[in-house]
Amino acid sequence: MRFVISALFLFVVAAAYDPLDPNGNLTIKWDIVSWTPDGYVAVVTMNNFQMYRHIMSPGWTLGWTWAKKEVIWSMNGAQTTEQGDCSQFKGNVPHCCKKIPTVVDLLPGVPYNQQYSNCCKGGVLPAWGIDPQSAVSAFQISVGMAGTSNKTVKLPKNFTLLGPGPGYTCGPAKVVPSTTFLTQDRRRKTQALMTWNVTCTYSQFLARKNPSCCVSFSSFYNETITPCPTCACGCQNKNSCVKSGSKVLKRAGVNTPRKDNTPLLQCTHHMCPVRVHWHVKVNYKEYWRVKVSIINFNYRMNYTLWSLAVQHPNLNDVTQVFSFDYKPLVPYESISEYMIFFFTFLSMLSDNNLAYAHADDTGMFYGMKFYNDLLMEAGPFGNVQSEVLLRKDKDTFTLKQGWAFPRKVYFNGDECMLPPPDTYPFLPNSAPHQQLFSGLAAIAAMVFLLVTVW
């Protein structure tokens, strides 16, 4: 029942942000490094400040609307996808004359004179929380027919970011204090002539109608395997899936990724490209052990740099993680006092632990470099797995009422659908009824509280 509460809670409070990474954002910074006779040269830097949401292949696409009649004379480290109509120019022709340019990264290995530092990664932009050194992408742009001083320059408008699909919303560009750069010998500082920033945030609701992953459960104490919910990821594509072992799969090209990333799924009742399985494996005296597996059902996708964020009250005491990397997340830094009051209130009402206000119950798992950071396409190798050893907190640990299962699971930054709570593997002789009652009481209280507040 607490899952229903958490879903309601999420719906009410957190529709626009990611509760496991509330400060996560992606910033785009423009530093004007020189003025030219008809405009300026700027370095554009994108930092992915999210904890676990990478921008994967085929990479980012950045767009904006020029405020005046600006053109792009040249670019290093990126290019526009279209030149547009440059017919008014004689002789020297700009790189792009479009009012709304669409910029993409270059591929690795382009000639040296087209590169720029931190460019040319095919648009892949890893998350800062997992790979801080690589979480940056940059290019240089020379803009003409623009303002030539910090008084006359007009900021570009309406920034859009695809990463690679929809989901990001970008705010307006804002002039910020000029960036300072350290020279290579680190003995002198230089300064941008003018700097503006754009902040973009991700929302799964904008990205897709249906979840893109689901979760299944099992345990040593009950032989029931709780499957993913049926049609967890939508069943619209039911006719275009492929049965495993079918002849179609042997045809050449079935594993070839499409440009638009359209999946080719193995037929399942959940129709998700990815399933996460959480198995409660052993109950020791002081510890307990969980096995986590991630299974790929998409024949056309290798997930490089996959990530799994999980919320569970016992993740505050992870003792050992075998064969995945692990980092705790600190999700509720910015929690308001009102919310803390609210959580306390809810957990007082409920006999089972609504341990949401703990700051350290969330963590992320990701693959070890060159070992299992690649989740292969659907098939015999399309899975990765690990075991996690957790130290019991004697006051909270229980195998009852689904406590041992995660509260939230995110694969590659998107929240996965959990099974309904009444299907969780039960301990023999444990009834779910009193849980239902306390859950209903908590919902009633919440509705009451909301009505009072508004």
Ligand X SMILES: *[C@@H]1O[C@H](CO)[C@@H](O)[C@H](O)[C@H]1NC(C)=O
User: Which among 119, 208, 111 is positioned nearest to 163, based on CA atoms?
Assistant: 208
CB 297 within 8 A of CB 96: no
6-14, 23-31, 90-98, 274-282 -> range binding ligand X (CB under 6 A):
23-31
Query: For residues 324 and 410, what is the distance between their CA atoms, to the nearest angstrom?
Result: 16
Q: Which is nearer to ligand X, 317 or 379 (CB)?
A: 379
Query: For residues 94 and 144, what is the distance between their CA atoms, to the nearest angstrom?
Result: 9
- Number of Cβ within a 10 Å radius of residue 104: 20
Interface mask toward ligand X for 340-359; x: CB under 6 A: --------------------
CB 33 within 8 A of CB 451: no
The partner residues of 174 in beta bridges, in order of sequence, read 197
Q: Which is nearer to ligand X, 163 or 346 (CB)?
A: 163
Size of the site for ligand X (CB under 6 A): 33
Integer-rounded Cα radius of gyration of the chain: 25
Beta carbon of residue 344, minimum distance to ligand X (angstroms, whole number): 27
DSSP designation for 351:
S
- Alpha helices by DSSP H, 186-308: 204-207
Beta carbon of residue 326, minimum distance to ligand X (angstroms, whole number): 20
426 binds ligand X (CB under 6 A): yes
Cis bond leading into 58, ω under 30°? yes
25 binds ligand X (CB under 6 A): yes
Contact with ligand X (CB under 6 A): which of 6, 45, 216, 435? 45
Beta carbon of residue 112, minimum distance to ligand X (angstroms, whole number): 25
Backbone angles phi, psi at 355, to 5 degrees: -85, 45
Task: Report the DSSP pairing between strands 213-219 and 274-283.
Answer: parallel
Contact with ligand X (CB under 6 A): which of 7, 175, 348, 359? 175
Q: Which is nearer to ligand X, 4 or 441 (CB)?
A: 4
Contact with ligand X (CB under 6 A): which of 39, 58, 59, 63? 63
Beta carbon of residue 423, minimum distance to ligand X (angstroms, whole number): 5
Beta carbon of residue 204, minimum distance to ligand X (angstroms, whole number): 17
Contact with ligand X (CB under 6 A): which of 83, 222, 244, 398? 222
Q: 384-404: string of b/e by CB count within 10 Å (b at 16+)?
A: bebbbbbebeeeebebebbbb
Helix (H), strand (E) at residue 194: strand 194-202
Structure tokens given for 92: 């020297």
23 binds ligand X (CB under 6 A): yes
Q: Which is nearer to ligand X, 158 or 236 (CB)?
A: 158
Interface mask toward ligand X for 104-133; x: CB under 6 A: ------------------------------
266-274, 322-330, 342-350, 421-429 -> range binding ligand X (CB under 6 A):
421-429
Q: Give, as ranges, the residues between 139 and 158 that touch ligand X (CB under 6 A).
A: 150, 158
Beta carbon of residue 208, minimum distance to ligand X (angstroms, whole number): 19
Torsion of CA 75, 77, 82, 84, to 10 degrees: -10
What number of CA atoms fall less than 13 Å from residue 84's CA on the CB side? Answer: 20
Cis bond leading into 164, ω under 30°? yes
100 binds ligand X (CB under 6 A): yes
Contact with ligand X (CB under 6 A): which of 84, 234, 257, 379? 257
User: Which among 172, 166, 237 is positioned nearest to 205, based on CA atoms?
Assistant: 166
Beta carbon of residue 451, minimum distance to ligand X (angstroms, whole number): 31
373 binds ligand X (CB under 6 A): no
302 binds ligand X (CB under 6 A): yes
Percent of residues in the chain assigned helix, strand, coil, to nearest 5 = 15, 35, 50
19 binds ligand X (CB under 6 A): no
Which residues of this protein are in contact with ligand X, per CB under 6 A? 23, 25, 27, 29, 45, 47, 49, 63, 65, 100, 150, 158, 160, 175-176, 194, 197, 199, 222, 224, 226, 255, 257, 300-302, 376-377, 423-426, 428
